[in-house]
Amino acid sequence: MPRSLVPLLVAVLVLFSAQQLLTPVLAPLSRELALTETQLGLVITVAALMLTVTSPLWGRALDAFGLRTVLVAGLVLSTVGLAGFAGAAAAGLDGATTPPVTFALILATRSLLFGAGIAAVPVAALAAASTATSTEADRTRAVGLVGAAQGVSLVLGPAVGGLLAVLSLLLPLYLAPAITALLAVWVLATVARMPARAERPARAAGVRPWDHRVLPFLVIGFLLYVSLSLVQVVVGFVIADRLELASQATAGATGIVLFAAGVVLVGVQGALVPKLGWPALRLMRVGIPVAVASFVLLLVAGALWSITAAFALLALGLGLAIPGFTAAASLAVGPDQHGAIAGLVTATTGATFMVGPLLGTALYEVAPAAPVLASLIAVVGAWAFVWVFAAARRTGVSSAGREGTASRSSG
């Protein structure tokens, strides 16, 4: 692993762990605040909208102002947003604000500010992973490590958040901004010492989303992530309603489910993907059917162990497929477009969480099985797209890898 990636992997791990602290408490907290499932979905959707809109902007800022400035700015926005969210929730629980006012405050803090701030870190990490590697195998390994860092956050965040929620639903909300504030201080102290990347052009070339080289992979990535976002936002409701649990018990059980999924994701992206050394398309072709099986299991799961098994299987499938999607997209463009493609990949992720949470919660209100069925349809669509569309097979991923090998050996 290139040493230049280490500070960025730490930043991804810590920031996303702070975000995942909140996951087990979102569903029960929304009910304590008298918010509907759709309102919770809207909170997450607006945050994803901000991530989608700001990711390309962070990609340009990375080239214009440098890594340290982008990371610190993103972390400051994240800290302010999380602190404001904690204050809004506390006021709502105390009865100091009405549910509509509480909802508006949460939108402004958790959605707008935090959504804009968190986008900076994955953009920086993916751009660095692309710049530090040249061959398809190395690129896939580096992207897998970024995904593994996010996977570890799925282990740490929900586990700690679920434990804290047993004592109080507000404890994870207070801890999250403290963690991001400390991370911003750490970035100021360490990232500035990283060597400048002189090979990076002063003005990076842009990439359009409809560019024929990357469009097939962006579509596949969108479908994969939307299948996840549809069920991730309703997992708390699924557990509460199928197992008939109270709010704090639901938070604890949700933490268990996401902890198990996170353990699998870390093992797949941090160890299995690098060891396999498979090409990007093969990772997608093998991983997506596993994700299909996970949604079939989730449709019929009626106990905590079976819900946990379904999410663990989903982590296995997406843990294989998503590094394939990310690596394939970056390998399809030239070295001067790594920042741009990192912004597009992150924006694609954000776009799915604009659609998925709002649609998932709305579908859940219609029928509890509806979000799972929609996820199944989306992931089957991604599977068909990988195999059927010739553009996904004609893209010059392999040629890009060969060119990278040749340039590295000649340098």
**Residue whose structure tokens are 């990310």:** 326
Contact between 184 and 266 (Cβ < 8 Å): no
Residue 325: predicted pLDDT: 79
pLDDT at res. 201: 43
pLDDT at 332: 59
The answer to whether residue 388 scores a pLDDT higher than 80 is no
Residue 407's pLDDT is what? 36
In this predicted structure, the answer to whether residue 294 has a pLDDT above a threshold of 70 is yes
Question: Residue 247 pLDDT more than 80?
Answer: no
Residue 113 scores a pLDDT above 90: yes
Residue 325 makes CB contacts below 8 A (sequence gap 6+) with: 217, 220, 221, 224, 280, 284, 345
In the predicted structure, residue 85 carries a pLDDT above the cut 90 = yes
If one compares 341 and 74, the residue with the highest pLDDT of the two is 74
- Residues 202 and 101: their CA atoms lie apart, in Å, by 45
Do residues 213 and 395 touch, judged by C-beta distance below 8 A?
Answer: yes
Higher pLDDT, 92 or 236: 92
In the predicted model, what is the mean pLDDT of residues 30-48? 83
Mean pLDDT score, 308-312: 92
- pLDDT, residue 88, reads 94
Residue 244 pLDDT grade (very low, low, confident, very high; cuts 50, 70, 90): confident
Distance CA 197, CA 207 (A): 21
Share the mean pLDDT of the chain: 79
- Determine the pLDDT at residue 297: 95
Q: Which CATH class is domain 3-194+208-410?
A: mainly alpha
Structure confidence at residue 176 (pLDDT):
92
- Are 41 and 361 in contact, with CB atoms under 8 Å apart? yes
Q: What is the pLDDT of residue 205?
A: 52
Domains in the chain: boundaries: 3-194+208-410
Band of residue 5 on the pLDDT scale cut at 50, 70, 90: confident
Q: What is the pLDDT of residue 210?
A: 63
Q: Is the pLDDT score of 196 beyond 60?
A: no
Sign of CA dihedral 57, 62, 64, 66: positive
What pLDDT was estimated at residue 402? 40
152-190 confidence digits (pLDDT tens): 776 677 778 878 887 888 898 999 999 999 999 988 887
**What whole-number percentage of the chain has pLDDT above 90?**
22
